[in-house]
Amino acid sequence: MQDTKINFSDYLHKSKSLKKNSSMQEVKVAFLSNFTINGLPEILKTKLHQEEIWVDYYNAPYNQYLQEIIDNHSGLYKKDPDLIFILLDVEKFLGDFFFFPYRYNLEQRKMLVMEKIEEIENVLAMLQERSKAKIVINDFVVPAYSSRGIIESKQEWGLTESIHRINESLRNICMNNNRLFTFPLNSFCSHHDSYPLAEPKIAYLTDMKISSDGLIGLASEYTSYFYPLASKSKKCLVLDLDNTLWGGIVSEDGLEGIKLGPDKEGKPFLDFQSLILELFERGVILAINSKNNYEDGLEVIRNHKYMLLREDHFACIKINWQDKANNIKEISKELDIGVDSIVFLDDDKTNRALIRELIPEVAVIDLPEDVSLYPQVIKNLKCFNLFNITKEDAERGKMYVDQKKRSVFKLSVDDLDAFIKKLEIKAVDRLADESTLNRITQLTQKTNQFNLTTKRYKEEEIEELFRSDHHLIESIMVEDKFGDYGTTGAVIVKKDLEEKCWNIDTFLLSCRILGKNIEFALMKDIIEKAKIAGMRSIKGRFISTKKNKPAENFFEDCGFVMTKMCNETKEYTFALSKEFKKEILVDV
């Protein structure tokens, strides 16, 4: 995520020499458009390559988007993409109405707009029926010119209002559909740093509606959809203090001398903190990594009247004189997250270079010399994007702060079982429903340590299993005296009614609740349900990976018997004529 400026032709040249390595997550993507977008796929491929995401793309033939969607044997469906981008030029889409809207009377204008909205709806419905991809459709750019001039805004169902109505309908179509997304191209064109629309001469000669700089900017925005699709979304923002969260050096300038507040030099830092606080409130974990005197740094956090980010917003605080690479490793360990889940912000170039060199998995973001641009850095972060923000996502930052309190409490208790009992844990097993499917999907994609098979599922696949009579999906919700963990575990069972056996396809728990006896409560529930259903046995597999060592002996601990071992896979069986003897220490 280093800010390296390269131009349009550099992206095209570089994309040709890119190689896929074995660690890369592949995403297949298709582009459908009614104007020239050549270069956009190559830019995206180059940008995402440095994020360890391999883009395998299909760029449909020029102005053939409808044919591609209608033809079952088109290149679009042969590619079987995970993600589809649709870019339509409003002039072509509206035809004569774009140039001569007032040849139509009011009722005709209404009718035409409604027909165009229905056309889009039908196209999207057909595409969803024939593809399992997530679909991103750009809204339409509203032209600044009108033959009605200054009274265009007074025209009922005029050109401007008609395009706004189409855009609003697009957003409504996509609103409650987890496979459809609207990209705000109209807003993008209004706020992009450089002029994003192509110069008239280029537009007439090539039918390229977006400039080369505009395509680079658009590709940057499009990366937002790839992070969650490739399970690469980040979890934690690690922040420096001096000249990052506030202006100045607290040990030299003192509490009153630092720049932070609603006026002049302090305003960029206040706005910067506001945007970070908003990230926290949607679930991003915050941590501090600062070379400073601990008391000085904490005094500002606790006592400065304009400090928005207080002590309870940070899940981990490292204010010391250690090198920052060691601090980040300790933050990763204490929060029990991978370093590849961390984003690091620091004004000091040397510290950024150190992290890039020693922990290349960390996403290091360059802060500009001009502090007035600090807020824009947060706005430009794409790596925290998710397709759905579940209850657990929104509360993740607070959950990790609560976890810090549990860690302190644990130090006061000598015996692990006593610690678990004093936490007053309550666990609720529940069958999956529409409200929990997104969270269960997330858990299958992200959980590594306590995951017996590490099978990954897409939303559409989980929904298909949910509707199947041959599968059972269950989740577990957990809370204790310090707070709510949310939905932190899931089981997927395949039912074999002929053999009277339940096969455990997936059994996983978030790392946040490991070591609290909850896994046994979940297994006991599955065993009891299988007995009630008249099953004779439960079977399961443990597939060893580099990260799931904590789950290695789980089946044996539950009383399962190993029946087969082959390479990294062990198979187990539990006869339901037996009793489940593991003590359950939590309230279920």
Q: How far apart (Å, rounded) are the C-alpha atoms in residues 232 and 361?
A: 11
User: Tell me: the pLDDT tens digits for 98-150?
Assistant: 999 999 999 999 999 999 999 999 999 999 999 999 999 999 999 999 999 99
Which two tokens mark 336?
A: 């029990």
Alpha-carbon separation of residue 352 from 220, 236, 343, 356, 441 (angstroms):
22, 16, 11, 6, 34
Q: DSSP labels for 101-133? A: GGGS-HHHHHHHHHHHHHHHHHHHHHHHHH--S
Q: How far apart (Å, rounded) are the C-alpha atoms in residues 328 and 394?
A: 24
Distance between start and end Cα atoms, the chain:
45
- Can you say how many angstroms the Cα of residue 122 is from the centroid of all Cα atoms in its chain? 28
Average pLDDT estimate for 374-393: 89
CA dihedral 257, 263, 269, 275 (to 10 degrees): 150
How confident is the model at residue 407, as a pLDDT? Answer: 67
Which two tokens mark 254?
A: 């003192």
* Element of type H or E holding 53: strand 53-59
How confident is the model at residue 413, as a pLDDT? Answer: 62
Which two tokens mark 143?
A: 């032209």
Whether the CB-CB separation of 571 and 541 falls below 8 Å is answered with yes
User: Tell me: the pLDDT tens digits for 491-506?
Assistant: 999 999 999 999 999 9
Q: Does position 64 have pLDDT exceeding 70, yes or no? A: yes
CA-wise closest residue to 92 among 35, 40, 38, 41: 35
> pLDDT class for 480, splitting at 50, 70, 90?
confident
What's the burial of 148, exposed, middle or buried (CB within 10 Å: 0-12/13-18/19+)?
middle
User: Tell me: the pLDDT tens digits for 351-377?
Assistant: 999 999 999 999 999 999 999 999 999
> pLDDT class for 409, splitting at 50, 70, 90?
low
Average pLDDT estimate for 11-18: 93
Which two tokens mark 554?
A: 């789980």
User: Tell me: the pLDDT tens digits for 558-584?
Assistant: 999 999 998 889 999 999 999 988 876
> pLDDT class for 16, splitting at 50, 70, 90?
very high
Whether the CB-CB separation of 280 and 392 falls below 8 Å is answered with no
Task: Look up the pTM and report it.
Answer: 0.78
> pLDDT class for 88, splitting at 50, 70, 90?
very high
Average pLDDT estimate for 499-523: 88
Q: Which residues pair with 59 in a beta bridge?
A: 31
> Which residue in this structure is represented by tokens 């979890």?
235
Backbone angles phi, psi at 304, to 5 degrees: -70, 130
Q: How far apart (Å, rounded) are the C-alpha atoms in residues 87 and 164?
A: 16
Coil, helix or strand at residue 561: strand
Q: Which residues pair with 319 in a beta bridge?
A: 290
Average pLDDT estimate for 40-59: 95
User: Tell me: the pLDDT tens digits for 160-211?
Assistant: 999 999 999 999 999 989 899 999 999 999 887 777 889 999 999 999 999 9
Q: How far apart (Å, rounded) are the C-alpha atoms in residues 211 and 323?
A: 44
Q: Does position 475 have pLDDT exceeding 50, yes or no? A: yes
Q: DSSP labels for 138-157? A: E-PPPPS--TTGGGGGGSTT
Q: How far apart (Å, rounded) are the C-alpha atoms in residues 553 and 283?
A: 32
Q: What is the average pLDDT score of the chain?
A: 91
* Element of type H or E holding 429: strand 426-431
User: Tell me: the pLDDT tens digits for 299-342?
Assistant: 999 999 999 999 999 999 999 999 999 999 999 998 888 999 99
Other residues' Cβ atoms within 10 Å of the Cβ of residue 35: 19
Q: How far apart (Å, rounded) are the C-alpha atoms in residues 82 and 27?
A: 6
Q: Does position 97 have pLDDT exceeding 60, yes or no? A: yes
CA dihedral 123, 125, 131, 134 (to 10 degrees): 90
Whether the CB-CB separation of 69 and 32 falls below 8 Å is answered with yes
pLDDT over 70 percentage in the chain:
96
Whether the CB-CB separation of 251 and 295 falls below 8 Å is answered with no
pLDDT over 90 percentage in the chain:
75
How confident is the model at residue 65, as a pLDDT? Answer: 95
Q: DSSP labels for 452-485? A: SS-----HHHHHHHHT-TTEEEEEEEEEETTEEE
Q: Does position 1 have pLDDT exceeding 60, yes or no? A: no
How confident is the model at residue 394, as a pLDDT? Answer: 74
User: Tell me: the pLDDT tens digits for 415-426?
Assistant: 666 766 777 778
How confident is the model at residue 3, as a pLDDT? Answer: 45
Q: Does position 395 have pLDDT exceeding 80, yes or no? A: no
Average pLDDT estimate for 77-94: 96
